[in-house]
């Protein structure tokens, strides 16, 4: 068996390319273009769906902010503790953030949402503390009533002065579009 020379090896590679690759370059390019278009359309559809869910969650959280403030006012005047404090929804924001789609929103909207949901996390922590002071092990503490009133004040002021106005502003901007 004779060794292949460099010229014959180059000739084999060129024949292979002309026989099996060049005739299908147009098909490969078309398939690549179709794949790109399909992935792009799918990504756009996912983004629109996630954004619509986010704005729906904003509207739900506006309603919840009213019920949270109402709850804190009732608890401050001594209403009996019958139901847990309402909580804000965060699922749509978490999905938008986890899918990496926050950067596709307008920068000011993305920043506002991040600030609002950080405040919502602080409100949730205060709600946990308030419930612990109402019915949990901390309820036996002599300072429980004062600490609970302080937690209720924090919840009410956070919702009234930061969360609800920002949610209203985002909802107003989104409805104008």
* pTM of the complete model: 0.75
| Residue 9, both tokens | 């090896």
Residue 21 resides in a domain = no
Q: Which domain holds residue 143?
A: 47-176
Residue 119 resides in a domain = yes
Please tell me the total count of domains within the chain: 1
Residue 9 resides in a domain = no
Residue 17 resides in a domain = no
> Tens of pLDDT along 50-87?
999 999 999 999 999 999 999 999 888 877 777 889 99
């Amino acid at each position: 068996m004779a060794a292949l020379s460099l010229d014959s090896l180059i000739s084999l590679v060129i024949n292979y390319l002309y026989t099996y690759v060049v005739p299908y370059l147009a098909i490969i390019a078309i398939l690549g273009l179709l794949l790109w278009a399909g992935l792009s359309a799918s990504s756009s559809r996912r983004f629109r769906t996630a954004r619509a869910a986010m704005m729906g969650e904003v509207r739900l959280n506006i309603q919840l902010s009213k019920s949270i403030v109402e709850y804190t006012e009732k608890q401050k005047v001594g209403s009996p503790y019958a139901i847990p404090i309402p909580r804000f929804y965060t699922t749509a924001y978490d999905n938008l953030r986890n899918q990496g789609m926050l950067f596709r929103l307008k920068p000011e909207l993305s920043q506002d949402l991040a600030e609002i949901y950080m405040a919502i996390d602080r409100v949730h922590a205060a709600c946990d503390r308030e419930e612990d002071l109402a019915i949990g092990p901390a309820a036996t503490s002599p300072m429980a009533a004062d600490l609970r009133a302080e937690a209720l004040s924090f919840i009410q002021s956070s919702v009234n002065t930061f969360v609800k106005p920002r949610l209203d502003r985002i909802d107003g901007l989104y409805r104008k579009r």
